[in-house]
Amino acid sequence: MKAKSVYIHIPFCQQICHYCDFTKFFYNEKLATEYIEALTNEINTNIHDTNNKVNTIFIGGGTPTALNMDQLTSLMQLIEKKFDIENCTEFTIETNPGDLDEEKIKLLKSYGVNRISLGVQVFDDAMLEELGRLHKVKDVYRTINQLRQHGFYNISIDLIYALPNQTLEQFKNTLDEAISFDLPHYSTYALQIEPKTIFYQRHKKGKLHRPPQEDEVQMYELLKNTMRSNGVNQYEISNFAKEGYESQHNLTYWNNDFYYGFGAGAHGYLPRRRTGNIRPLPAYVKQAMNTGRPILNTDEIGLKEMIEEEMFLGLRKMNGINKKHFYDKFGFSFETLYKDKISNLIKKGWLTEDTENIFLTDQGMLFGNDVFAQFLLGDNDLKHVR
């Protein structure tokens, strides 16, 4: 029942992107040093032992590599002390093209980082500027070459589509360039206009327009077909990988397994509860230094919530939900609760099944939220299975 994974949030960026609603702040050396001290206290308070065994570690942001060498070294020393890096299957850090120099790459390698998640977003300099990104397309080439020269081959890049005024042809160009790197993993997302972002303010004023929905659907179909034809398999709604390179950390989330979450705004999932940390940096630092427990809210997770999340998260995966795994976990089959709903979704063409799994069809992926809503449970639905 212990956590299988660790997420550590580093909220600092050299620039705030126009679409981003993650917990982030402009990098400031003094604040970043204070933050690492507070983060250290939070982790030490919640994990007393050293050399704890976990399957995956993911350092996200923000831009973790915005930290200077001393700060990044302190972070790596903390992780090395608290977790069994040698037996950790996957140790990922997020970075941006152009952010890494040789010194930082060598540091990451020496502390056991074995996977890089690179925030590329689009292969178009004008669109990168529109997104508020600092890097240029040439920086992607330089960074990937540097990483490969130092033995990093498990590299994933993030792409965003349905960008303001983006055409299908422009997205095809981005895909073709991305595929030319022959990387083992690609994460892809349709642009979402989130509150409290620059894009949201522009959208409210009528100054920002996403492509029409039919274009977004065509982009998604082009994405799937391009990846498939190049031997990169879709294993989750938004993620594609060569065989054996699926993100083990993200599979922790989609398999509804337990994980620690440390840092400002980080979320964790432990038996019977989900936690969310304080987001504002000064408040996080103060609480983490004072008590080591900078938690903003805790949601109690009972059987009803566990089952709902098992369905929502599991159906994001291409192989869906394994019937035997569900039975072993909960002591009854999901048909006990959802037989009629599953039958209706199969008739709609949104869901299908084989002897072992139920999973979304291609059409079902386009209506994922509508499908997931069918698996919400009422307060009385569990009476006959308890």
Contacts of 251 (CB under 8 A, 6+ apart): 317
d(CA 221, CA 236): 14
Q: What is the pLDDT of residues 83-93, one digit of tens each?
A: 999 999 999 99
Q: Poorest-confidence range of 28-32, 335-339, 358-362, 379-383?
A: 379-383
pLDDT of residue 86: 94
Q: Which amino acid is at 244?
A: G
| DSSP code string of 276-337 | EE--SHHHHHHHHHHTS--EEEEEE--HHHHHHHHHHHHTTBTT-EEHHHHHHHHSS-THHH
Q: What is the pLDDT of residues 12-64, one digit of tens each?
A: 877 666 555 656 677 899 999 999 999 999 999 999 899 999 999 999 988 99
- For residue 107, give the nearest of 140, 71, 135 by alpha carbon: 71
276 pLDDT more than 80: yes
Pairing of strands 357-360, 321-322: antiparallel
| Residue recorded with tokens 């997770």 | 301
Q: Mean pLDDT of all residues in the chain? A: 92
366 pLDDT more than 70: yes
d(CA 92, CA 119): 13
Can you give the three-state secondary structure of 41-104, one letter per residue?
A: HHHHHHCCCCCECCCEEEEEECCHHHCCHHHHHHHHHHHHHHECHHHCCEEEEEECCCCCCHHH
pLDDT of residue 140: 97
How far does Cα 346 stand from its chain's mean position? 29
Rounded to two decimals, the pTM is 0.93
Report the residue count for the chain.
386
Whole-number CA gyration radius for the chain: 21
Q: Name the CA dihedral angle for 285, 290, 291, 295, rounded to a multiple of 10 degrees.
A: -30
210 pLDDT more than 90: no
- 91 and 114 Cβ atoms separated by less than 8 Å: yes
DSSP state letter for 384? G
d(CA 233, CA 325): 23
- CB neighbour class for 352 (10 Å; exposed up to 12, middle 13-18, buried from 19): middle
How far does Cα 283 stand from its chain's mean position? 25
Copy the structure tokens of residue 306: 């566990």
285 pLDDT more than 80: yes
CA atoms within 13 A on the CB side of 368: 17
DSSP state letter for 376? -
